Amino acid sequence: MEAFWNEKYSTSEYIYGIHPNEFFAERLTKLRPGKILLPCEGEGRNAVFAAAMGWKVDAFDISEIGKVKAETLANENSVIIQYQIAKANTYMADTEKYDMIAYIYAHFPSDTRKDVFDHLNRYLKPGGTILIEAFHTSQINNQSGGPKDIDLLYSHDILKKDFKDFEISLLEEKEISLEEGSHHRGQANIIRLIAKKPA
C-alpha cells in the first residue's frame, strides 16, 4: 500500500489540490483552535489549513512522498505541522491529547476499520470532536474519486455502529460536486459525521 500511494503522489501536482476540504474548513473556523490529529493526511492540504488557523497539527500517512509534499506546502505557507510516517493502527501519541481527530477521505478495510477507530480514539480528549467526510457506498458507481472496493466505503449504519458510544450531532449522506484537485472531481456520494467523545 505504501508503494501505491508513493506512486500516486510522485508528481509535482497536488492531486487533491492545495486547498482544504470545504466541510473540514467550514467546521474548523467555528471552533477555538486546539490540538488536532489528521490521519492519512497525504499531501497536507488540510494540515496546512488547520495550522494557518492556529491549530497545533499532528498528521500522519504511510507515504513518504506525501510527507515531503505536505512539508513543502507547509513551508510555502509559513506554518508548522508535525508529520509522521505511520500506519493508522500503529500510530502512537499521548493518551487523550487531541481536541479533534478529522478523518478526511480516510478509508479502511471492514476487518480493521473499527480497530483503527478505537485505537486512534484513545488519543482524543473527553469532549473532543470526531469529524469525518468520506465516500459513501453509493460512490462505487461514480468516477469522481475514491476506492473502487465497496469494502472500503462507508454507510450511515457503519458509522452509527462504529461511533455508538459517542454523542453524534451530525450523520448525513449527501451528493455533492467535488472540486479537490484532479483526483476528486465531479458528482460524488459522500457521508459526513460529527461526534463528541463522552466527557
Q: Decide the pairing of beta strands 82-85 and 167-180.
A: unpaired
Instruction: Name the 3-class secondary structure at 50.
Output: helix
Q: From CA 15, how far away is CA 184, in angstroms rounded?
A: 8
End-to-end CA distance of the chain: 36
Q: From CA 61, how far away is CA 43, in angstroms rounded?
A: 9
Model pLDDT, residue 15: 96
Question: Average pLDDT of the chain?
Answer: 97
Phi first, then psi, for residue 61 (nearest 5°) are -160, 165
* CATH number of the CATH domain containing 154: 3.40.50.150
Summarize pLDDT for 69-121 with one digit per residue, the tens: 999 999 999 999 999 999 999 999 999 999 999 999 999 999 999 999 999 99
Model pLDDT, residue 95: 93
Q: From CA 27, how far away is CA 36, in angstroms rounded?
A: 13
Model pLDDT, residue 1: 83
Give 191's pLDDT tier (boundaries 50, 70, 90).
Answer: very high
Number of domains in the chain: 1
Q: Where are the alpha helices (DSSP H) in the chain?
A: 2-9, 22-28, 45-52, 64-76, 110-121, 156-162
Model pLDDT, residue 99: 98
Torsion of CA 150, 27, 37, 103, to 10 degrees: 0
Q: From CA 34, how far away is CA 55, in angstroms rounded?
A: 5
Q: And the C-alpha cell for 6?
A: 508513493
The amino acid present at 180, given as its one-letter code, is: E
Domain membership of residue 102 as a residue range: 2-196
Q: Look at residue 27 and tell me whether its pLDDT is greater than 90.
A: yes
